[in-house]
Amino acid sequence: MTSPDLLVIGGGSAGLSAARTARALNRSVAIVNDGPPGGDCTFTGCVPSKTLLSAGSLTFTDAMARVRATIASIAADEDVAALTDEGIDVVLGRAVVQSPNRVEVHGTVLRPRKILIATGARPQIPLIPGLSEIPYLTTDTLFDLEVLPDHLVIVGVGPIGVEMAAAFRQFGANVTTIEAADRLIGREEPRASRVITQVLRRSGVTVKTSTAASSVSLTDDDIQLTLAEDTLSASHLLIATGRQPNLSRLDALGLALTDQKAIRTNLKMQTSDSSIYAAGDVTGRSAFT
């Protein structure tokens, strides 16, 4: 299908939902995705994180096995074969959007009537001296762990940092969280921050606020973080300082962006080009499904 009614760029939660809705309305649909459909929610976000949180009665090894099994089960309902059976064409590769009605994928030209951009977001990595030389974790790699960390340090304590602090602490890992702001999950009400901080501390998590890492280095035995007043050693370092929209290969469209470098949309999810829509994390709105 080279001229679908709707071309969805991105096969995560937003893209899949839109594609399936369009098919239910008897529209022709194609999805372009760089990798297996499912996106962050299935592979690195809500599915593995919630599965891990709910597996506290297991050993860490068994819990991670459950995480992988749950991912595989859900991914099977979203893979190429499943979508094809639903009448949705899936093109695997990176989309290069050349105009509102011309998209190229590995030499194949698609000419859709409408485009929905649902390219998601990726971890936002802070500019900490030495960090690029460290084998740090993000949610893209965290769920590949096979051995429980001895001491997990989490930089950034928004929703992801809070969840992973609770999850790894329940398996017996030593956990320290570092947050530059004066409270955790700063977008939420102060009372919520206080309650969550209390719960984490009661579970044994060391919570540091108004604290930032000025540098990071790797020794023979561990990772060293230099803070304002002391140093901290860790076996593993998780960076959870937020996410940034995936906008690569969209420059030709010249779409208006928000101050946070996300695609600006109206209440109908239209971008500054009314024939192009955007949904999901790429819009910078609430990044939870």
Predicted pLDDT at 289: 47
- pLDDT tens-digit map of 47-64: 999 999 999 999 999 999
Of all residues in the chain, the percent with pLDDT exceeding 90 is 89
Phi, psi of 153 (to 5 degrees): -105, 130
Tokens of 46: 């809500």
Of all residues in the chain, the percent with pLDDT exceeding 70 is 98
Question: Is the whole model's pTM more than 0.75, yes or no?
Answer: yes
User: Mean pLDDT across the stretch 241-270?
Assistant: 92
Predicted pLDDT at 144: 95
Domains and CATH numbers, the chain: 6-38+78-123+243-283 (3.50.50.60), 131-239 (3.50.50.60)
If you ran DSSP here, which 8-state letter would residue 54 be given? T
Q: Is the pLDDT of residue 80 over 90?
A: yes
- pLDDT tens-digit map of 102-148: 999 999 999 999 999 999 999 999 999 999 999 999 999 999 999 99
Contact criterion met (CB below 8 Å) for 37 and 79: yes
- The torsion of the CA quartet 41, 254, 90, 118, rounded to 10 degrees, works out to 20
Q: Is the pLDDT of residue 2 over 90?
A: no
Predicted pLDDT at 287: 62
Going by C-alpha positions, the residue among 265, 226, 247, 227 that lies closest to residue 94 is: 247
> Hey, which bits of the chain come out as E strands?
6-9, 29-33, 88-92, 96-99, 102-105, 108-110, 114-117, 121-123, 151-155, 174-178, 206-208, 215-218, 223-226, 231-234, 236-239, 243-245, 276-278
Going by C-alpha positions, the residue among 199, 65, 209 that lies closest to residue 144 is: 65
The three-state secondary structure class of 50 is: helix
Contact criterion met (CB below 8 Å) for 227 and 216: no
Q: How far apart are CA 104 and CA 111, in angstroms?
A: 9
